């Protein structure tokens, strides 16, 4: 399935071209609203906005290297119950992938929302963006895109998550806008990957196009460069947190403010278990803990908090880096989560955000897996043993 | 909680006995379950795994409904149900009376260990000088004459083997709790006083009596005797009449004044017989005429002893008795060809091999040859040793060994590695069950198990004494030999000895092989209405069929109980009122410790452990108490609690307290709800060492933290619509409807056709010769006149929803009218039919027809039998190959029966059966033998070369490859009958409407194919008859009765209580991700779309905790296993 179309670039400004596309969507009433990032009056950060008036798309700046919040969280809230109109969400690949996870965790819906993603150039950490001035205008964004897609070494100021992200294109989306390769030509390649996506391209009346070979090559090089950075990140982080002592030192400065979990798009709990009575320790209990070593660091449970969060969401982690962004103590949270998430997702043959069809690993029970961990050898006949099906009693022997 | 009046006795605590007892207990009746053995679970307790899961699943028999009535741990270890009185080491001494009012006398097996007193310290085994083959390990290891009966028994009481015990008494002295009674101790406690003036008489009597185990004291004169009677008590006096000084009669008079209860037997010479008769008038019981010998004395003494011993018997009144005596393995040494068993190392029986593979077996689960402990590379299984063998008087199939051997081959490969070579020698590989054929093929194709069709001649020692040589004759006639490291004999089965005893006592019929004979169309009824057959004493069956049969027996027994007035209910004591102990009350914990009085050297708790408790601000008091295994200790608890102002209780005791029955008494005595009492096993019994400080601390601290965070809540209950819906009016549906309705419960019976009967409409008779039409008429008449059954013919289910206790079904009637039915359970009895068949000349030759077509023309009389010269039966026409790769179980016996029926009409008719594996399990084998004797030709064919049929005028010519000749054989026959097999007719939408699932062949998918064979995974949904799997009429009847009794466990009450440990939802934390719904294996959770909440059905919830594990933020929690409790337990474990 899928169509490829061309989106004319005008003066070579990709942002303007996409604004035009979005405007056509609203104008044609293909969608009733568009979720897209833009700066607000007298503010420099780009924040997600829900735009209904085509005129108000003027400031839309979705490719700006500013990534203050993972929009999947917001898109999820907007899609969980009916809005009454079809609407489009312009999101980075990591946001789209997080949104997919949210759908599978029943926190988001796909009935009305149409996902529009783009070749992601990456972004600066929010503080870095504010400190350096970032991209003030749309013209700055275009300069940033040129630099990001130039094939040269990435700006070292870019967020570590983005530098190590091998998903500049999401595995699943409705519409994908190819920014890469646009420098050379006069148009952007735009794909409708699903029926909903095709419908938007049809509504915008975009002419068909052949896939750009130059884009494919550039994309391959970009992914290779980022994958190398990712592997370096894994190696470095694994060495740092391989032991409990290492991990404790890594998170030593944690205040248990839980900002990382608030910023995390796939932490879907209504309230974190660390904020409930489960962790309201009795004073006598705390005293006994202190007595063990004669000293107890407070707040306690900080490493436990991160380990628990890893246990809960590392199968769904998309590596967007908002946890690091949110940490007031400057702890490199993302590095640990990505490193662990790669392992947990590999273990289940799962990849966060890959598709709507793969069931979340923990909702599935398979009798014969991790036999080395559970200590039960596989049954030789492979017998009446059920496959990886949800909720089969056969597996709970 | 209510308990029904009435009691049944189940004899034999193997899986059939346990199943029957649990079913009756779940319906609400009291059950006394007796077994001679010291440990329940019979044969299955020794098997580590069963196919098709190749794991153990015994625990899946445990109740799901009202599950706290039973202890929910491993059934192999032992079991407990509050309405089952399990009496081990006990046998039935007598059964008298009629159904509804049977008088049953139970007697303890002589000698043994009192499980209530045994603390499992093992000192008895340590001092026992006798080593004897360990029955648990099938004799492959040794045990002491007093030892643990199985390595996993719980409570781990020891048991005494009376056969092996030499009565040396060493264990009596070693036992710290006085739990042991030596065998024959009863006789030793029967004290006899011999009074005679002649020394020689006294001496010989003393010798004779003591040799028989009695205690004998001597008196040489009357005064001496009276002095002895004054000093000690005696049970019997043997008194000489003619003595100097004081005559016997005077002694008798004075003795009777002193001890009126004393039994006296006079000893007299012939001359004084008249005096002896006089003596009887003043109280002597009997007399013996001198000179007498041991043979005349001992019976008289023994008779007196029997009366004395009978005082210890337990008399019971029961409405029904279910005999679950079971079977035992055939001993290869008893037969003409032992295949080297006993002589050659490495020749084993199946059971020995199972033990050899077991982790608790002689080699710790490694596959080594017994005796020389050599590794094993090649194993052969020889099937049908002592079964299907006329020479051994076993003209029946043991039904279980083929599948057991395949499973063992796979288990052996799992243990020793895939390169292990496994060969199974058999005449047929019998796979007459739903998943059996595919299991066999997986073994063959995926795992390389080799199947050889042969009956080996012998097993001999290999050249140079190495290996075991098997010789057999190949199909082509050639002789072949191969060497193996191990030979496993798939020995047949014989009824257990108790079966013959019971049959004789009750006048029940036995078949030629010693199994009980059930009544027509039943697997469990006997000629005696109060006596039912449970399990394999009525014929061999695999686990699933045994479980079904036992449930069917329970259904019949339940009916006897109901008929005897069992419907009336009496109130039981309500559980502790929670209102007295509001959940919000801060915990004030009383910690108590047993002071073990069983032995002087009972250890005490280490001080630091006690200190840690005392300083805990939530511990109100720490007190030692009298032993909690005694009533005294338990009764003191309430006073201690109120003195300490405590509202929760921590018990430090020994493992005896882990047994559910004392715990229940403590709950009652303390008045606290169950969740507010915790037990810590501190090894405070009279063990050898002080309790380990770390272990004791862990046990106490984890109990403490569980108590601190315990939330005792009222258990929930759901209302039950006391009505059943039965879908399908064939034999299974009608039987199920009647079995439920006969208990006074309303039934709606739905049948799509205009008349009841299903497949009974065209079947003529069973293999046993019972006419089917009369069964149909009988069932139909009973259904139609039953006041509790509403019959809906020409109706179908159009819509259904709901859960156990409250289903709503819409029925569409013949005129399109829709009826709404409310019911608490549903029984799917939608049946099956003959599979459609193509090929084999069907449609091309008028001579070719299916078994069903032949049956119809036989009963209609349209078949011209006289014109027949030859008939050919083609078995497995379309079945046992994909996509219908299962054996339909009924077609082979049907072919044999139809040949017999044809030959009745046309004597001398030539008949041939073309088959793959002839499936005549159980006593159907006899019909196979008879057919062979009567000259029916049986020709096996390979599935890749099926027989071909071509028309030849009115006849047809069948071509088949003859394996012995090795070339094609042509048979001209006027009749070719195709055995097409059975397909189910269970509509998927219907099953799914009730939350049931279908298997790949469209049959109902059971909750567990072995252990819950008529239950759906979703509670309250059952299936029976052909909807479940292909089966004969009596087998279908059994499934229907089984489904009925399982349904009655739900329908027997107005409200169904949940278990104590159920999942709950903290709604404020729930983000509705629904992962818990997916994770719940019991379908107990659903999203209520209106309230936008996840809801749990507390009765369907089994407390497994899968939801709590999958929920990230503790919104799904499990009562008693909250995060705080589990964290605390982990911390305690870490020390």
How confident is the model over B195-214, as pLDDT tens digits? 999 998 899 889 888 888 88
Residue B101, CB half-sphere, CA atoms under 13 Å: how many? Answer: 1
Numbered residues of chain A with Cβ closer than 8 Å to any chain B Cβ? 105-107, 268-273, 276-278, 282, 284, 312-313, 359-360, 362-365, 377, 379-385, 390-397
- Asked if the structure places residue A391 within a domain, the reply is no
Can you give the pLDDT at residue B1072?
92
- Gap between the Cα atoms of B545 and B1029, Å rounded: 11
β-pairing, B84-87 with B30-34? parallel
Q: Which of B56, B1069, B1106 sits opposite A276 (nearest CB)?
A: B1069
pLDDT digits (tens, 9 = 90+) for B57-101: 899 999 988 888 887 678 888 888 989 999 988 999 999 998 889
For B382, the 3-state DSSP assignment is strand
- Tell me, yes or no, whether A309 and A206 share the same domain: no
* B565 CB-near residues (< 8 Å, 6+ apart): B5, B6
Same domain, B844 and B928: yes
Which residues 443-462 of B are in CB contact (within 8 Å) with A? 443, 446-447
CA dihedral A216→A221→A224→A226, nearest 10 degrees, is: -100
The number of beta carbons lying within 10 Å of the beta carbon of residue B237 is 27
Same domain, A168 and A279: no
Q: What is the three-state SS of B832-844?
A: EEECCCCCCCCCC
Which residues of chain A neighbour B1075 with C-beta distances below 8 Å? 105, 360, 362-363
| Contact between chains at A276 and B1114 (C-beta distance less than 8 A) | yes
Q: Is residue A353 in a domain?
A: no
Where do we find the tokens 């409990």?
A244
pLDDT at B725: 98
- Interatomic CA distance for residues B512 and B1032, integer angstroms: 22
Contact B1083 A391 (CB under 8 A): yes
Cα→Cα distances A152→A222, A226, B119, B264, Å: 9, 12, 78, 118
Find chain B residues with C-beta within 8 A of A377's C-beta: 414
Spell out the residues 6+ positions from residue A63 whose beta carbon is closer than 8 angstroms to its own.
A14, A15, A18, A118, A121, A141, A144, A145, A179
**Same domain as B468, residue B343:** yes
Q: Is residue A50 located within the same domain as residue A151?
A: yes
Contact state of B447 with A381 under an 8 Å Cβ cutoff: yes
Give backbone dihedrals phi and psi of B146, rounded to 5 degrees, phi first.
-120, 120
Last residue of a domain, one of A197, A229, A261: A229
In a domain, A333, yes or no: yes
Residues B470 and B355 reside in one and the same domain: yes
Does A162 lie in the same domain as A46?
A: yes
Percentage helix, strand, coil for chain A under 3-state DSSP, each rounded to 5: 45, 10, 45
pLDDT > 70: percent of chain B: 96
The number of CA neighbours under 13 Å toward the Cβ of B1061 is 16
- C-alpha to C-alpha distances, B336 to A133, B232, B332, B468, B490, nearest whole angstrom: 100, 58, 8, 19, 16
Tell me, yes or no, whether A152 lies in a domain: yes
Nearest CA in chain A to B1084: A391
- Taking residues A30-59, what's their average pLDDT? 94
Q: Record the tokens describing residue A122, joined without a space.
A: 């990456």
Residue B106 located in a structural domain: no
3-class DSSP state of A396 = coil
From CA B1133, how far away is CA B654, in angstroms rounded? Answer: 19
Question: What CATH number is attached to the domain comprising B927?
Answer: 3.50.50.60
Interface predicted TM-score (ipTM) over 0.85: no
Which of B 606-665 lie inside 8 A of A, CB atoms? 616-618
Residues of A in contact with B56 (CB under 8 A): 397
- Dist. CA B1041–CA A80, nearest whole Å: 49
Q: Which of B432, B356, B421, B347 is closest to B385 using CA atoms?
A: B347
- Our CA angle for A286, A291, A292, nearest 5°, is 105
pLDDT, position B578: 47
Exposure on the CB side of residue B511, measured as CA atoms within 13 A: 22
Residue B1068: domain span: 1061-1134
Tell which residue, A353, A242, A244, A257, has the closest CA to residue A305: A257
How many other C-beta atoms lie within 10 A of the C-beta of residue B775? Answer: 22
* Phi–psi pair at B533, nearest 5 degrees: -95, 125
CATH no. for residue B115? 3.30.70.20
Q: For residue range B989-1019, what is the model confidence (pLDDT) as tens digits?
A: 999 999 999 999 999 999 999 999 999 989 9
A285 plus A336 within the same structural domain: yes
In this structure, are B166 and B247 located in the same domain?
no
Partners of residue A282 in chain B, C-beta under 8 Å: 618, 708
- B673 and B758 belong to one structural domain: no
* Edge-to-edge strands, sheet with B619-625: B619-625, B589-594, B648-653, B677-681
Q: Give yes or no: residues A210 and A319 share one domain.
A: no
Report the C-alpha gap between A231 and B162 in whole angstroms: 71
A49 and A85 share a domain? yes
Residues of B in contact with A363 (CB under 8 A): 1075, 1078-1079, 1110
Residue B1054 maps to a domain? no
Asked if residue A360 belongs to a domain, the reply is: no
> Does a structural domain hold residue A255?
yes
Residue A390 lies in a domain: no
Mean pLDDT across the stretch B535-543? 93
B413 CB within 8 Å of a chain A CB: yes
For residue B1069, the chain A residues in CB contact (below 8 A) are 269-271, 273, 276
Greatest mean pLDDT among A120-129, A360-369, B63-72, B1049-1058: A120-129
**What are the pLDDT digits (tens) for B1066-1125?**
998 999 999 899 889 888 999 998 999 999 999 999 999 999 988 988 899 998 899 999
* Assigned domain for B1051 exists: no
Instruction: Indicate whether A68 and A21 sit together in one domain.
Output: yes
Local structure of residue B580 (DSSP, 8 states): G
- Do B685 and B752 reside in the same domain of the chain? no
The token pair that represents B858 in the structure block = 């036989």
**B452: β partners:** B425
The answer to whether residues B344 and B363 belong to one domain is yes
Last residue of a domain, one of B543, B571, B599: B571
Locate the DSSP E strands across B1005-1058.
1021-1023, 1055-1057
The residue with greater pLDDT, B272 or B865, is: B865
Tokens of B933: 């004797």
My answer on whether B489 and B350 are in the same domain is yes
Same domain, residue pair B119 and B174: yes
**Alpha-carbon gap, residue A159 to A70, rounded angstroms:** 14
Same domain, A65 and A193: yes
B420, part of any domain: yes
Mean pLDDT score across all residues of chain B = 90
The count of structural domains within chain A is 2
Element of type H or E holding B1094: strand B1093-1096
- Do A21 and A155 lie in a common domain? yes
A34 and A20 in contact (C-beta within 8 Å)? no
Structure tokens at B544: 């699933």
Q: Are B159 and B114 in contact (CB under 8 A)?
A: no
Asked, for residue A234, whether it belongs to a domain, the answer is no
Ordered DSSP codes for A330-375: ---HHHHHHHHHHHHHHHTT--TTS-SSSPPGGG-B-SSS-HHHH-
* Cβ-contact B560, B530 below 8 angstroms: yes
What's B742-809 look like in SS3? CCCCEEEEECCCCCCCHHHHCCCECCCCCEHHHHHHHHHHHHHHCCCEEEECCCEEEEEEEECCEEEE
In degrees, to the nearest 5, what angle opens at C-alpha B1051 toward C-alphas B1050 and B1057?
50
Q: Determine the 3-state secondary structure of A23 from DSSP.
A: helix
Q: Please check whether residue B1047 lies inside any domain of the structure.
A: no
Residue where a domain stops, chosen among A229, A256, A289: A229
Cα–Cα distance measured from residue B1062 to residue B922, given in angstroms and rounded to the nearest whole number: 43
Q: Which domain CATH number covers B690?
A: 3.40.50
Q: What letter would DSSP give residue A395?
A: G
Q: How large is the average pLDDT for residues A202-207?
A: 94
CB contact under 8 A, B1008 and A395: no
Report pLDDT digits (tens) over B215-257. 899 999 999 999 998 888 888 999 998 888 888 889 999 998 8
Please identify, among B469, B493, B517, the residue that sits at the C-terminal boundary of a domain: B493
Residue B422 near residue B379 (C-beta atoms within 8 A): yes
If we measure between CA atoms, which residue out of B248, B304, B254, B258 comes closest to residue B279? B248
pLDDT in tens, B91-142: 999 999 988 899 999 988 877 888 777 777 788 999 999 999 998 898 888 9
Query: A393–B1017: do the CB atoms touch at under 8 Å?
Result: yes
Domain boundary among B123, B149, B182: B182
Q: Where are the alpha helices (DSSP H) in B880-943?
A: 891-905, 924-933
- Same domain? B132 vs B261: no
Q: Which of B1112, B1121, B1122 to mutate to test the interface with A (most CBs of A within 10 A)?
A: B1112
Whether B1079 sits inside 8 A of A272 (CB atoms) is: no
Burial class (CB in 10 A: 0-12, 13-18, 19+), A150: exposed
Residue of B nearest to A104 (CA): B1073
A83 and A157 belong to one structural domain = yes
Q: Is the residue at B1048 inside a domain? A: no
Residue B8 falls inside a structural domain: yes
Q: What are the two backbone dihedrals, phi and then psi, of residue B688, each rounded to the nearest 5 degrees?
A: -85, -30
Better-predicted residue by pLDDT, A155 or B947? B947
pLDDT per residue over B642-669, tens digit each? 999 999 999 988 766 766 677 778 888 8
Give the C-alpha separation, B224 to B245, whole Å. 11
* Contacts with A, B 1085-1124, CB within 8 Å: 1104, 1106, 1110, 1112-1115, 1122-1124
Q: How far is A198 from chain B (nearest CA, A)?
A: 30
Rounded CA separation B802/B994 (Å): 7
Contact (Cβ atoms closer than 8 angstroms) between residue A379 and residue A352: no
Asked whether residue B713 is domain-assigned, the answer is no
Residue A296 phi, psi dihedral angles, 5° rounding: -135, 125
Both A183 and A304 in a single domain? no
CB proximity list for B27: less than 8 A, separation 6 or greater: B4, B554, B558, B1045, B1048, B1049, B1052
Please state, in angstroms and rounded to a whole number, the distance separating the CA atoms of residues A281 and A286: 7
* Cβ-based neighbour number of residue B921 at 10 Å: 25
Single pTM value for the model: 0.86
Q: Which residues pair with B73 in a beta bridge?
A: none
- For residues B176 and B221, state if they share a domain: no
Instruction: State the CB neighbour count (10 A cutoff) for residue B517.
Output: 18
Range of the domain at A61: 3-229
Please list every residue in chain A whose beta carbon sits closer than 8 Å to the beta carbon of residue B708. 282
Q: Which helix (H) or strand (E) holds A146?
A: helix A138-148
**Count of structural domains, chain B:** 8
Residue B346 shares a structural domain with residue B484: yes
- Is A384 in contact with B52 (Cβ distance < 8 A)? yes
For A361-396, the pLDDT digits (tens) are 887 777 778 877 776 665 544 443 333 444 333 333
Contact B684, B652 (CB under 8 A): yes
More confident residue, B745 or B712: B745
- Average pLDDT rounded to a whole number, residues B552-565: 94
Interface-testing mutation among B51, B54, B584, with chain A (most A C-beta atoms within 10 A): B54
Find the residue in B nearest to A103 (Cα).
B1073
């Amino acid at each position: 399935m899928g169509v490829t179309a061309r989106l004319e670039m005008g003066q070579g400004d990709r942002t303007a071209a996409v604004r035009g596309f979005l405007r056509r969507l609203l104008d044609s009433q293909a969608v009733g609203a568009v979720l897209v990032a833009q700066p607000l009056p007298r503010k420099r950060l780009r924040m997600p906005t829900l735009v209904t008036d085509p005129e108000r798309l003027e400031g839309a700046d979705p490719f700006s290297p500013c990534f203050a919040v993972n929009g999947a969280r917001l898109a999820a809230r907007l899609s969980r119950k009916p809005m009454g109109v079809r609407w489009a969400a312009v999101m980075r690949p990591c946001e789209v992938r997080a949104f997919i996870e949210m759908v599978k965790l029943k926190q988001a819906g796909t009935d009305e929302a149409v996902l529009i993603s783009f070749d992601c150039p990456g972004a600066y950490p929010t503080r870095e963006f504010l400190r350096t001035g970032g991209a003030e205008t749309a013209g700055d964004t275009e300069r940033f895109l040129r630099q990001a897609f130039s094939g040269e070494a990435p700006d070292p100021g870019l967020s570590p998550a983005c530098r190590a992200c091998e998903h500049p294109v999401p595995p699943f989306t409705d519409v994908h806008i190819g920014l890469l390769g646009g420098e050379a030509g006069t148009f952007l390649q735009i794909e409708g990957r699903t029926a909903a996506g095709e419908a938007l391209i049809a509504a915008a009346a975009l002419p068909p196009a052949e896939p750009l070979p130059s884009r494919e090559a550039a994309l391959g090089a970009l992914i290779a460069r980022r994958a190398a950075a990712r592997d370096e990140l894994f190696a470095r982080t694994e060495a740092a947190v391989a032991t409990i002592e290492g991990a404790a030192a890594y998170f030593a400065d944690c205040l248990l403010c839980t900002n990382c979990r608030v910023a995390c798009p796939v932490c879907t709990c209504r309230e974190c278990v660390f904020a409930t009575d489960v962790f309201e320790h009795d004073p006598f209990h705390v005293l006994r803990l202190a007595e063990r070593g004669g000293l107890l660091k407070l707040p306690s449970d900080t490493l436990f908090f991160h380990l628990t969060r890893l246990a809960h969401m590392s199968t769904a982690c998309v590596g967007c880096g908002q946890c690091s962004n949110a940490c007031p103590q400057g702890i490199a949270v993302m590095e640990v989560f990505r490193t662990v998430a790669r392992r947990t997702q590999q273990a289940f043959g799962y990849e966060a955000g890959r598709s709507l069809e793969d069931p979340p690993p923990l909702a599935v029970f398979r009798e014969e897996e991790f036999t080395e961990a559970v200590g039960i050898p596989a049954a030789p006949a492979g017998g009446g043993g059920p496959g990886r099906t949800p909720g089969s009693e056969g597996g709970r022997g | 909680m209510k308990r029904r009046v009435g009691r049944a006795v189940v004899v034999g605590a193997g899986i059939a006995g346990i199943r029957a007892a649990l079913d009756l207990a779940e319906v609400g009746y009291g059950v006394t379950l007796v077994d001679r053995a010291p440990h329940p679970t019979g044969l299955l307790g020794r098997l580590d795994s069963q196919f098709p899961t190749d794991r153990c699943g015994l625990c899946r028999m445990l109740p799901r409904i009202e599950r706290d009535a039973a202890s929910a741990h491993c059934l192999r270890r032992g079991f407990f149900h509050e309405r089952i009185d399990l009496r081990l080491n006990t046998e039935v001494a007598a059964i008298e009376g009629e159904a509804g009012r049977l008088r049953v006398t139970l007697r303890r097996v002589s000698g043994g260990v009192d499980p209530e007193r045994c603390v499992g310290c093992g000192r008895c085994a340590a001092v026992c000088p006798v080593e004897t083959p360990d029955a648990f390990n099938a004799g492959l290891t040794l045990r002491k004459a007093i030892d643990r009966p199985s390595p996993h028994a719980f409570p781990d009481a020891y048991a005494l083997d009376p056969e092996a015990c030499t009565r040396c008494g060493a264990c009596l002295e070693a036992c710290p709790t006085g739990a042991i009674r030596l065998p024959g101790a009863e006789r030793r406690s029967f004290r006899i006083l011999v009074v005679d003036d002649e020394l020689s008489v006294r001496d010989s009597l003393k010798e004779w009596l003591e040799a028989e185990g009695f205690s004998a004291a001597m008196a040489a004169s009357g005064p001496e005797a009276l002095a002895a009677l004054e000093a000690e008590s005696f049970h019997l006096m043997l008194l000489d009449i003619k003595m100097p000084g004081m005559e016997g009669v005077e002694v008798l008079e004075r003795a009777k004044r002193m001890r009126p209860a004393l039994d006296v037997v006079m000893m007299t010479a012939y001359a004084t017989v008249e005096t002896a008769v006089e003596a009887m008038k003043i109280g002597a019981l009997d007399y013996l005429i001198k000179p007498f010998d041991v043979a005349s004395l001992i019976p008289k003494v023994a008779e007196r002893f029997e009366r004395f011993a009978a005082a210890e018997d337990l008399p019971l009144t029961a409405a029904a008795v279910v005999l679950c005596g079971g079977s035992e393995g055939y001993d290869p040494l008893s037969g003409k060809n032992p295949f080297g068993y006993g002589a050659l190392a490495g020749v084993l029986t199946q059971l020995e091999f199972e033990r050899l593979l077991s982790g608790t077996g002689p080699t710790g689960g490694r596959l080594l040859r017994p005796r020389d402990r050599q590794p094993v590379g090649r194993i052969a299984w020889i099937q049908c040793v002592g079964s299907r063998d006329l020479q051994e008087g076993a003209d029946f199939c043991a039904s279980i060994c083929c599948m057991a051997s395949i499973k063992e081959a796979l288990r052996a490969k799992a243990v020793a590695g895939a390169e292990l070579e496994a060969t199974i020698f058999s005449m047929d590989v019998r796979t007459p069950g739903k998943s059996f054929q595919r299991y066999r093929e997986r073994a063959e194709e995926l795992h390389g198990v080799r199947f050889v069709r042969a009956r080996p001649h012998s097993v001999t020692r290999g050249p140079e004494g190495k290996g075991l040589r098997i010789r057999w004759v190949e199909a082509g006639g050639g002789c072949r030999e191969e060497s193996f490291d191990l030979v496993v004999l798939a020995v047949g089965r014989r009824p257990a000895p108790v079966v013959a005893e019971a049959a004789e006592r009750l006048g029940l019929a036995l078949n030629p092989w010693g199994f009980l004979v059930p009544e027509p169309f039943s697997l469990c009824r006997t000629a005696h209405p109060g006596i039912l057959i449970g399990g394999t004493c009525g014929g061999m069956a695999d686990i699933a069929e045994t479980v079904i049969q036992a449930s069917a027996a329970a259904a019949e027994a339940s009916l006897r109980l109901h008929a005897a007035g069992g419907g009336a209910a009496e109130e039981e004591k309500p559980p502790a009122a929670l209102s007295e102990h509001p959940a919000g009350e801060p915990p004030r914990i009383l910690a108590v410790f047993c002071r073990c009085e069983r032995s002087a050297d009972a250890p005490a708790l280490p001080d630091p452990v006690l200190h840690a408790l005392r300083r805990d601000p939530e511990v109100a008091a720490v007190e030692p108490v009298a032993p909690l295994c005694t009533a005294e200790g338990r009764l003191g608890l309430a006073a201690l609690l109120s003195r300490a102002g405590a509202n929760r209780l921590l018990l430090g005791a020994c493992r005896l307290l882990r047994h559910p029955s004392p715990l229940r008494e403590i709950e009652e005595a303390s008045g606290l709800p169950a969740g507010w009492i915790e037990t810590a096993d501190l090894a405070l019994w009279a063990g050898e060492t002080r309790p380990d400080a770390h272990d004791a601390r862990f046990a106490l601290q984890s109990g403490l933290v569980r108590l601190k965070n315990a939330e005792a809540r009222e258990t929930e209950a759901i209302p039950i619509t006391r009505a059943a819906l039965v879908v399908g009016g064939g034999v299974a549906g009608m039987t199920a409807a009647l079995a439920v309705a006969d208990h006074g419960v309303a039934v709606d019976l739905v049948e799509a056709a205009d008349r009841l009967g299903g497949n009974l409409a065209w079947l003529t008779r069973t293999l046993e010769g019972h006419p089917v039409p009369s069964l149909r008429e009988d069932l139909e008449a009973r259904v139609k006149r039953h006041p509790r059954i509403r019959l809906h013919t020409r109706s179908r289910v159009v819509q259904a929803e709901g859960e156990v206790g409250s289903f709503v079904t819409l029925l569409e009637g013949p005129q399109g009218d829709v009826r709404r039915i409310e019911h608490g359970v549903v029984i799917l009895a939608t049946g099956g039919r003959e599979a459609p068949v193509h090929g084999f000349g069907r449609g091309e030759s008028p001579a070719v027809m299916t078994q069903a077509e032949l049956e119809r023309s036989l009963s209609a009389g349209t078949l011209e039998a006289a014109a027949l010269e030859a008939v050919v039966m083609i078995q497995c026409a379309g079945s046992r190959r994909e996509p219908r790769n299962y054996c339909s179980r009924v077609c082979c016996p049907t072919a044999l029966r139809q040949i017999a029926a044809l030959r009745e009409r046309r004597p001398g008719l030539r008949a041939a059966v073309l088959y793959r594996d002839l499936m005549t399990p159980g006593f159907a084998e006899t019909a196979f033998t008879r057919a062979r004797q009567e000259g029916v030709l049986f020709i096996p064919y390979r599935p890749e070369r099926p027989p071909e049929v071509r028309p030849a005028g009115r006849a047809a010519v069948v071509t088949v490859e003859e394996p012995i000749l090795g070339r094609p054989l042509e048979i001209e026959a006027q009749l070719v009958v195709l055995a097409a097999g059975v397909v189910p007719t269970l509509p998927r939408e219907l099953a799914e409407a009730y939350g049931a699932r279908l298997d790949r062949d469209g049959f109902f998918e059971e909750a567990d194919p072995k252990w819950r064979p008529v239950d759906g995974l979703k509670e309250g949904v059952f299936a029976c008859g052909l909807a479940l799997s292909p089966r004969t009429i009596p087998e279908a009847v059994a499934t229907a009765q089984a489904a009925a009794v399982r349904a009655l466990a739900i329908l027997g009450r107005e409200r169904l209580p949940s278990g104590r440990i159920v999942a709950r939802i903290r709604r404020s934390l729930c983000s509705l991700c629904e992962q818990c719904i997916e994770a719940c294996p019991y379908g107990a959770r659903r999203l209520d779309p209106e309230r936008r909440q996840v809801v749990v059905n507390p009765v369907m919830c089994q407390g497994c905790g899968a939801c709590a594990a999958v929920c990230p933020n503790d919104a799904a929690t499990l009562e008693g296993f909250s995060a705080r409790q589990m964290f605390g337990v982990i911390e305690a474990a870490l020390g």
